[in-house]
């Protein structure tokens, strides 16, 4: 109900400012255009569902898709694009710290559970010495993958490792199964699935590969876990652009009941609307 009221207030504000006025003298009503950088799945699909709703607010949304996790940050930082919607908070914080960027979160939208998926092996119990497990090679997502392996008894990490830390395979304390963990660029993992025993996939890349975490994963993060709060996917802008009214409206639409219902119906647990 709170989100519905917020959305109605935004609409009333836009109407009061003239965004919804009837054209006069054959002129076209003023339209505000915003561009959002995103991953193809599910982010672009969710934005496409929001696009006609935003049009009712006098906002034209341009959706710009990227396959990687670097360009969506850089095009926003350069000012070429208004906002991005693809990453979780730890990734953006880590990227800011490493690259000196200023990405700032303006809205928390959804959560995608990480999953361990079959490759050559169909279960964790089938793992043998020397088997390879592919994990993302970017800091926060590798940490997340290693935490999932630890939760499932494959490895042991140093005490205190969590979402606020960054670890790699070099930090593994011990292997409970003598496997080889291979760091791979996240976008490439699904394509290499048949070459490894198991793979750990980001939610968007799993969906793009036709996989659903609740149906196809051997093990995955639970929606009521701390990961759901930590790794929520967000809308972000360059610092200083937080008060862009059109972006605020975008966030209100993306967190509305209409879009939440779309997410739940479309992705069947592979994408979960964020709840505070």
**Domain count of the fold of the chain:** 2
Instruction: Measure Cα distances from 50 to 85, 189, 226, 257, 269 in Å.
Output: 13, 29, 28, 11, 20
- What is the extent of the structural domain holding 132? 115-220
Q: Residues 168-227: pLDDT tens digits?
A: 999 999 999 999 999 999 999 999 999 999 999 989 999 999 999 989 999 998 766 777
pLDDT tens digits for 144-163?
999 999 999 999 999 999 87
CA distance to 15, 29, 116, 274, per residue, from 26 (Å): 19, 9, 58, 43
| Helix H or strand E segment including 125 | none
> Is position 226 within any domain?
no
pLDDT in tens, 99-131: 999 999 999 999 999 999 999 999 999 999 999
Task: Indicate whether 48 and 98 sit together in one domain.
Answer: yes
Domain of 35: which CATH number?
Answer: 3.40.190.10
Per-chain mean pLDDT for the chain? 89
| pLDDT at residue 222, rounded to an integer | 77
Tokens of 180: 């080889």
Last residue of a domain, one of 220, 242, 261: 220
Would the pTM of this model clear 0.95, i.e. be above it? no
Same domain? For 48 and 74 the reply is: yes
C-alpha to C-alpha distance for 207 and 212, rounded to whole angstroms: 6
Q: Can you list the positions of beta strands (E) in 187-274?
A: 198-201, 219-220, 233-238, 272-273
Cβ count near 107 (within 10 Å) = 21
Residue 266 counted as domain residue? yes
């Amino acid at each position: 109900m709170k989100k519905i009221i917020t959305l109605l207030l935004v609409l009333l504000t836009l109407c009061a400012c003239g965004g919804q006025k009837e054209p006069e003298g054959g002129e076209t009503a003023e339209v505000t255009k915003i561009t959002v950088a995103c991953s193809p799945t599910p982010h672009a699909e969710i934005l496409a569902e929001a696009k006609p709703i935003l049009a009712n607010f006098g906002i034209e949304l341009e959706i710009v898709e990227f396959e990687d996790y670097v360009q969506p940050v850089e095009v926003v930082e350069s000012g070429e694009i208004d906002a991005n919607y693809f990453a979780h908070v730890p990734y953006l914080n880590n990227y800011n710290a490493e690259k000196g960027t200023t990405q700032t979160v303006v809205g928390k939208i959804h959560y995608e559970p990480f999953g361990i998926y079959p490759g050559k092996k169909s279960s964790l119990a089938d793992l043998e010495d020397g088997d390879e497990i592919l994990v993302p090679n970017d800091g926060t997502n590798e940490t997340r993958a290693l935490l999932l392996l630890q939760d499932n008894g494959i490895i042991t990490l140093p005490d205190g490792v969590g979402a606020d830390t960054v670890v790699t395979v070099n930090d593994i304390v011990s292997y409970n199964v003598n496997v080889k963990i291979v760091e791979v660029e996240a976008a490439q993992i699904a394509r290499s699935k048949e070459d490894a025993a198991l793979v750990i996939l980001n939610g968007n890349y799993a969906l793009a590969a036709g996989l659903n975490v609740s149906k196809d994963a051997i093990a995955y993060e639970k929606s009521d876990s701390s990961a759901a709060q930590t790794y929520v996917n967000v809308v972000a802008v360059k610092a200083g652009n937080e008060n862009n009214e059109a972006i605020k409206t975008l966030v209100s639409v993306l967190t509305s009941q209409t879009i939440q219902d779309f997410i739940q119906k479309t992705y069947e647990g592979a994408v979960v609307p964020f709840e505070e």
